[in-house]
Amino acid sequence: MPFTCPSSHPAPLFRGPFLFLRHGESTTNRAGIIAGWRDPELTELGREQALQAMAVLAHHPVTSIFSSPLRRAWDTAAPTSRVLGLPVEAVEGLKERNWGDLEGRPLSERPHMYMIPEGGESWEAFGVRIWAALESLDPVPGMPLIVAHSGVMRVIRARLGLSEGAERVANAQPIRLDPPGPGEMAWRETPLDHSL
């Protein structure tokens, strides 16, 4: 898929900085299983991670929250939503990649990202879906928060020209993404400190 940076007239989300939060640890994460469109719950650790992320995000001017409708993302967004008094908008297009027949199998069986899983999405189709969902968002001006999955962040990194080789986003690790400043070409990705 030929990933490109946003146009000179970017969609609302890409006109300023935004935040990304991967869901907390799920039961499939803990078991080392491919989840995809399966809908596992957060583990006890995952719920604690969501609370820790909320404590970090409370120090940032979050103005709107968008989440994958899958329970592991939605339940990760819930503490921040409650504390900040902001509703969470479910966005169907932000679901994780559909891994087809591989869902429920050990992670060790997951093929290279460019391989098309039987009954699932290609990397290209997944990227098109995620990007269309992100471009469709109309956040309140300020600092939108996207709560989703590691695959979604992989698409964001690729599209914004960030390092595709960067480490996988940790569970419930808030990330700030800033657009290029005057005279700059590249977006910037900054993990937010959990020690606040």
Per-residue pLDDT tens digits for 127-150 = 999 999 999 999 999 999 999 999
96 is catalytic: yes
Q: What is the pLDDT of residues 99-120, one digit of tens each?
A: 999 999 999 998 888 899 999 9
* Domains of the chain, start order: 16-191 (3.40.50.1240)
According to DSSP, the residues that pair with 88 across neighbouring strands are 65
Q: Which of 25-29, 167-171, 184-188 has the highest mean pLDDT?
A: 25-29
Average pLDDT, the chain: 91
DSSP state of 60: S
Residue 164 confidence (pLDDT) above 80: no
23 is catalytic: yes
Indicate which residue of 25, 96, 103, 189 is catalytic: 96
Burial class (CB in 10 A: 0-12, 13-18, 19+), 20: buried
Q: Is the pTM of this model over 0.85?
A: yes
